[in-house]
Structure 1
Amino acid sequence: MKKTKVKIFFHTPIILLLCLIVTTCGKKRMFEKADALISTLSMEQKIGQMLMVALPGKAMNSDMEKILEKFLPGGVIYFGYNLTDDKGIAALTGEIQIKSMQNSGIPVFVSVDQEGGRVVRITSGVTQFPGNMAAGVGGDRDLVFQWARILGMEMRALGINMNLAPVLDVNNNPENPVINTRSFGSDPELVAGMGRAYIKGLQESRCIAVGKHFPGHGDTNKDSHLTLPVIHYGMDRLKRIELPPFAEAIDAGLECVMTAHIAFPEIVGNTDSATISPFFLTDVLRRDMKFEGVVMTDDMEMNAISGKYDLGEAAVKSVQAGSDIILISSYGVNTEKIFSALMEAVRKGAIDEKRINDSVRRIIELKLRYNIMDFKENRVVSGHVEYSEKEKKLEGKAGEVNEMLSRNALYYYGRDDLLKPGQETVRVFVSGSDVLRRSLKKDNNDFIVENISGLQGILRKIGKSSKPVIVYYHIYKPDFAELAMVKDMTGGKYMECVLVSSGDPFPVTRTGMFKSYLLSFSNTDISLELLAECLNGAVTPLKNNSVYLGMPGVK
């Protein structure tokens, strides 16, 4: 680990906080240092390291300070309500690290869900990439590597050292309400290859990747935020479809795995979530798949867990099963409930101290190796990364990489002449997106309207024209009552409709409601601009797609 500069930030009688700027993230394990630090920690500090909590507000405040002081968390998770612009995010992160050092004596993991596409938290200071399924449709692993490499550098510049990504679920169920476009696709080999590229890129930027949701959330038709999904198939199927992306990720050096709140009764004989299953977390993940990294739960306050268990009890069960970090998305009473339950479980012997030490050892070692901290001469040193000129040059290509990923994701299913009609054709574009409408080029026979009312007005104006009419109806989230009206309105002899989707297309494509679809799998500004360019005839979309969209009669 090469050192280039040491700067003192502040000093207390107990801790000297230093900022160590480093240029490389060594792969050598640092368990000796981790063990030396762990030997100095109280049980409260150890349990705190196993908590990842949310904090209230956009800047340091008394409520944040109380949480950091009382529970000594080893990690924090950012949500949209924490985040402002890049300067504000960096300032908040710095304040949190200082307060953490003053209280627990150890810097925190700072994590966020920045998957790309429809799941992002940071909207300023990082590039808005189109997300997994857009990348999976394009199929370019090198672009995925570059995307993650760039994003990791952008996030570390804000002080964020852990991204709760990539999603490694195989989305082979078009009725999946929660994964869908968050997945790279419906083919295990594709998901595995894309996941490997993403993990390599992100972690080479010294930003920790978290592969989720183990052992697989792709083949559900329920949302675990709302209820406990139950999967009725056996281990053979799991090994064939769901587990290969995780196996590939582990081989690629994945540092952290997030669990799924899903039950597999055919495999384990009960309806307990995988998050509290020793079979999945210890037997399968640790023993069979040889994973040596950190295991983190998904949010324990999701209804799949909180609707069935007391949260303190669930946290204890999860640690007993093999989890290292308990994730809590709120900053209320549940943090105290979980902290107290874990402390009590250790006191009563339900969890022995060695089990706690094993988790804390993995956590501290990971922080050491990713330059989040160092420990030498009995002092805790807070780390930071600095990038080479070559790395900065790649970061400067963020816009180019983003455009290529977004362009490669455009997919069209339908008759070619509907995208490139003759000059006599009347085209009506309907979109609620200002970005898409502004990017469209309007010819003499074209109309651009904002909503279905505008479409009704244009169709009345056109009347019973003998000219062919094509309606391009753009949606992000489908309103089926509205779409039924659109289908009815465009069912005339000389009329056609192309459904244009920049969101999750599965709810519509699997119904077979329309015959033609233009899809971007992403609602970022660049994706919307490229959709418009496709409708303008300047960009040619893909006609072949590896992602199963559930369209009747189409494999």
Structure 2
Amino acid sequence: MVFRWRSFAALTSGAVIALTGCAGSEGSGSQGQATRSPSAVVPASPTAAPTPAPSDPVEAALARMSVREKVGQLFMPVVYGPAADARSDQNRKSFGVATPAEAVRRYQVGGVIYFPWADNVKSASQLARMSNDLQRQSPKIPLLIGVDQENGIVSRLDGIVTPIPGQMAQGATRRPADVADAARVTGEELRALGIRLNFAPVADVNVNPRNPVIGVRSFGSDPAAVGRLVAAAIKGYHAAGVASSAKHFPGHGDTHVDSHTGLPVIEHTRAQWERLDAPPFAAAIKNGVDVIMSAHVVMPKLDPSGDPATLSKPILTGLLRDKLGFRGVISTDALDMAGVRKKYGDAEVAVRAILAGADLLLMPPDVKAAHEAVLKAVESGRVSAARLDESVRRILRLKQSRGVLARPDTVDPERAAQAVNTEAHRAVAQRVADHAVTLVRKGPLPIQGKARFLVVGPNPEALAKPLAAQSVSLPADGTVPASLAQTAVAQAKRATAVVVLTRGSSAAQLTLVNALAKSGRPVIAISTGTPYDLPRLRSAKAALATYSTSPAAMRAAASVIRGTLTPTGRLPVRVPGLR
């Protein structure tokens, strides 16, 4: 469709109300009773009455804060270790202190984000205890604790929370109710762990089959469909009381470079951006998304400076604020990624992001240097006091709207362990997987009665078990050692049918499928990532897309193969070579 600016007013008018109309919705609580800093209010004369405290809890909190405290609110760093008092050399390197608790106290940060690679994630009860203990270090302004739990391949709490199918699988269902339920389940589990911000959903429209970083993280390649599902996910997170973040603005769906390791350049014209990239973000704003995350991508037709969007005022302020009308929190993508670090140092990047229009500085690798740089920029006037207050006010408003501002958000560690990965939540995951599995070529399916199956591919056990099949396990990197290929072909001759799990379009994978087809047994190819590999696998008589190898997805595939489930999923991306 043609995306016109006239439509933005209609799309975004509700978002402004949703994000700014919550003032005073919570009581002042302990925050309203804290002592005002001496510099916050100066009486007109020694005999004049003090200025009354603002009735709005956000304005009251803002008035009590020093400049240093305000700067701290802009930061959401990674802390290292599984407990608030865990000592780590990484903490010393980033913060100049040893423990997460010391880091929170020293910098009075607005929040933290959890990662398994930072040794944060061990168990549900451990995460709940860590969340509580970190909150105790920030009694004046409670923390906003976040995580990247998109589901699918980006699941930072893998092994703890319910394994929900990722966004491309959800997109294949074409069912907003499934997407909303998936987000609600995830949100309920995050909240039980003390996490109140999920950096999801992905609003990127994956129009580039070569995209190395988005792919199955996207709902699909149709902007309107992606927008509908982004809206459904936001509603699901909000139903659970968890803040949501649409990412990666202005759009990361047409790249062939990973911004973690390089700086992608997208040559979309303004008209192309309006048609392809903007609609899901407009839908997110209309549905009250709390946060929009920037992308470390260069769009020279939108900003010819050569700076990534994270550092671009024409993009973050000109497009996102002024044109789309977003009034919530703008977060940077991770500031430790190569895409944003190439041109400027880690300290200067933080300042430039704020000047561009960002509010939340996510994961700066050197918090000490970045914090000092922003503080100096405020003190020198490079970042005005009013500009600083704008960002802090938005962050406080977000905390208020999600029930974090008035009191520390304590959770029960014992209840947390019982609230995650429940039977009811696993049933939702299975329903989504059942609705997602997509029949691309029917071939001999279904295969019923007594049949001997062979499953070949990386981690084939999840499918071999429900099929009662033999299996040959291949490396996860897409290679096919000659010895394993020979074993698979030999075993295929004793099977009724062969199922090959594919991911990507490697030549070795294609050679294996062709060799198995020559065995005389029907081959069923199951694409477990993006389905762009399926057109090449023409020697496979039947083809399915499951978009993952999760247990739920493999159970759904087994049910389709056996004929106990009628597949209703539809390809959510346009696949060249498939009708």
- TM-score class, shorter-chain normalisation, is 0.7 to 0.9
**AA of the residue aligned to 1:241:** L
- Which deviates the most, 294-303 or 307-316? 307-316
More strand by share: 1
Q: How does 1:451-470 map to 2 (within 5 A)?
A: 451=474, 453=483, 456-457=486-487, 459-460=489-490, 470=497
Paired position in structure 2 for 1:340? 372
For the 8 Å contact 2:317–2:356, the answer to whether it is kept is: yes
Match of 1:84 among 116, 122, 142: 122
Paired position in structure 2 for 1:367? 399
Q: CA RMSD in A?
A: 3.0
Q: How does 1:411-490 map to 2 (within 5 A)?
A: 411-417=438-444, 419-421=445-447, 427-431=453-457, 432-442=459-469, 447-451=470-474, 453=483, 456-457=486-487, 459-460=489-490, 470-475=497-502, 477-478=503-504, 480-490=506-516
Paired position in structure 1 for 2:174? 139
- Alignment partners' CA distance in 2, 1:412 and 1:49: 49
Shift of 1:440: 1.3
- Alignment partners' CA distance in 1, 2:492 and 2:236: 53
- Alignment partners' CA distance in 1, 2:451 and 2:184: 45
Match of 1:353 among 370, 376, 385: 385
User: Cα distance 1:122–1:73, how it changes in 2: closer, same or farther (>3 A)?
Assistant: same
For residues 319-355 of structure 1, what are the alpha-carbon distances to aligned partners after superposition, in whole Å with 9 as ceiling and x for unaligned? 011000111164xxx1111111101111221111110
**AA of the residue aligned to 1:172:** V
Gaps of 5+ in 2: 1-23, 38-53, 87-97, 413-418, 475-479
For the 8 Å contact 1:168–1:245, the answer to whether it is kept is: yes
Secondary structure in structure 2 of the residue aligned to 1:428 = strand
2:572 corresponds to 1:547: yes
Shift of 1:64: 1.3
Match of 2:105 among 60, 69, 81: 69
Shift of 1:84: 1.3
Paired position in structure 2 for 1:98? 136
2:426 corresponds to 1:399: yes
Paired position in structure 2 for 1:128? 163
For the 8 Å contact 2:74–2:359, the answer to whether it is kept is: yes
Paired position in structure 2 for 1:33? 57
Gaps of 5+ in 1: 16-29, 375-380, 387-391
User: Cα distance 1:123–1:460, how it changes in 2: closer, same or farther (>3 A)?
Assistant: closer
Shift of 1:525: 1.8
For residues 9-65 of structure 1, what are the alpha-carbon distances to aligned partners after superposition, in whole Å with 9 as ceiling and x for unaligned? xx99999xxxxxxxxxxxxxx992212211111111111100000001011224212
Paired position in structure 2 for 1:378? none
Paired position in structure 2 for 1:43? 67
Secondary structure in structure 2 of the residue aligned to 1:190 = helix
**AA of the residue aligned to 2:340:** I
Aligned pair count reads 507
- Alignment partners' CA distance in 2, 1:108 and 1:146: 27
- Which deviates the most, 292-301 or 448-457? 448-457
Paired position in structure 2 for 1:273? 308
For the 8 Å contact 2:250–2:294, the answer to whether it is kept is: yes
- Alignment partners' CA distance in 1, 2:306 and 2:260: 16
Secondary structure in structure 1 of the residue aligned to 2:301 = helix
**AA of the residue aligned to 2:323:** D
Secondary structure in structure 2 of the residue aligned to 1:285 = helix
For residues 507-526 of structure 1, what are the alpha-carbon distances to aligned partners after superposition, in whole Å with 9 as ceiling and x for unaligned? x2365665543221123221
User: Cα distance 1:428–1:523, how it changes in 2: closer, same or farther (>3 A)?
Assistant: closer
- Alignment partners' CA distance in 2, 1:409 and 1:162: 26
Q: How does 1:493-508 map to 2 (within 5 A)?
A: 494-506=520-532, 508=533
Q: How does 1:188-227 map to 2 (within 5 A)?
A: 188-227=223-262
For the 8 Å contact 1:510–1:549, the answer to whether it is kept is: no
For residues 234-273 of structure 1, what are the alpha-carbon distances to aligned partners after superposition, in whole Å with 9 as ceiling and x for unaligned? 1111111110111011011111100011111122223211
Paired position in structure 1 for 2:196? 161
**AA of the residue aligned to 2:165:** P
For residues 402-448 of structure 1, what are the alpha-carbon distances to aligned partners after superposition, in whole Å with 9 as ceiling and x for unaligned? 1110111101212431x335889874322433222222135xxxx44
For the 8 Å contact 2:456–2:473, the answer to whether it is kept is: yes
Shift of 1:2: 8.9
2:144 corresponds to 1:118: no
- Which deviates the most, 125-134 or 74-83? 125-134
For the 8 Å contact 1:131–1:182, the answer to whether it is kept is: yes
- Which deviates the most, 421-430 or 264-273? 421-430
User: Cα distance 1:70–1:546, how it changes in 2: closer, same or farther (>3 A)?
Assistant: same
Match of 1:178 among 210, 213, 216: 213
Paired position in structure 2 for 1:24? none
Secondary structure in structure 2 of the residue aligned to 1:77 = strand
**AA of the residue aligned to 1:471:** V
For residues 168-227 of structure 1, what are the alpha-carbon distances to aligned partners after superposition, in whole Å with 9 as ceiling and x for unaligned? 111111111111111111111111001101101101221000110011111111111011
- Alignment partners' CA distance in 2, 1:279 and 1:31: 35
- Alignment partners' CA distance in 2, 1:383 and 1:427: 51
**AA of the residue aligned to 2:500:** Y
2:434 corresponds to 1:410: no
- Alignment partners' CA distance in 1, 2:284 and 2:26: 30
For the 8 Å contact 2:302–2:314, the answer to whether it is kept is: no
Secondary structure in structure 2 of the residue aligned to 1:359 = helix
**AA of the residue aligned to 1:364:** L
- Alignment partners' CA distance in 2, 1:199 and 1:13: 36
- Alignment partners' CA distance in 1, 2:423 and 2:260: 37
User: Cα distance 1:111–1:535, how it changes in 2: closer, same or farther (>3 A)?
Assistant: same
Paired position in structure 2 for 1:533? 559
Shift of 1:274: 0.7
- Alignment partners' CA distance in 1, 2:219 and 2:306: 28
For the 8 Å contact 1:84–1:124, the answer to whether it is kept is: no
Match of 2:82 among 58, 73, 77: 58
Residue identity (%): 30
Secondary structure in structure 2 of the residue aligned to 1:268 = coil
User: Cα distance 1:513–1:225, how it changes in 2: closer, same or farther (>3 A)?
Assistant: farther
**AA of the residue aligned to 1:271:** G
User: Cα distance 1:265–1:90, how it changes in 2: closer, same or farther (>3 A)?
Assistant: same
- TM-score with structure 2 length normalisation? 0.81
Paired position in structure 2 for 1:152? 187
Secondary structure in structure 1 of the residue aligned to 2:428 = helix
**AA of the residue aligned to 1:413:** V
- Alignment partners' CA distance in 2, 1:294 and 1:67: 23
